[in-house]
Amino acid sequence: MIKSVHQVVPEIAEDVRGGNGMVTAHKLLDLFPGSAIKSVGVVRLEPGASVGEHSHSGDEDFYYCISGTGVVVDNGVEHPFTPGTLQITRDGESQAIRNIGETELVFLGALIATVDASED
């Protein structure tokens, strides 16, 4: 499967998960049947925008910073989020993110179903 971000109609939402401002998501993959990969997308937060703190149950999420300056909250602890930073939220953990810069904060996000190691 090949998909280009340029072929995806962006979804725009406000105040995502109790956050602030506008969030734009280019979902490259969304709820792919038969795959542990639930979704993959490029997300853009305008300056001052955020995704509120939320936890994961039955899945794991990661954010990989492409451009901009932000803060990611990993299980209640704030960390700088700049290009090249990866943040992973495991099953049962929480995360949030906010743009603290003057330009868009752009990151790749992916949601993966939790796989029980005992099933192998």
| Residues 99-117 pLDDT 10s | 999 999 999 999 999 876 5
Nearest alpha carbon to residue 108 among 79, 93, 78, 88: 88
State residue 116's pLDDT score.
Answer: 62
Which of the following CATH numbers is that of domain 10-113: 2.60.120.10, 3.40.50.1000, 3.40.50.300, 2.160.10.10?
A: 2.60.120.10
State residue 29's pLDDT score.
Answer: 85
Longest distance between any two alpha carbons in the chain, whole Å:
46
State residue 10's pLDDT score.
Answer: 93
Tell me the two tokens of residue 56.
């994961």
State residue 92's pLDDT score.
Answer: 94
State residue 120's pLDDT score.
Answer: 47
Low-confidence ranges of the chain (pLDDT < 50): 118, 120
Q: What type of residue is 89? A: T
pTM listed for this prediction: 0.89
Rounded CA gap, 91 and 57, in Å?
A: 5
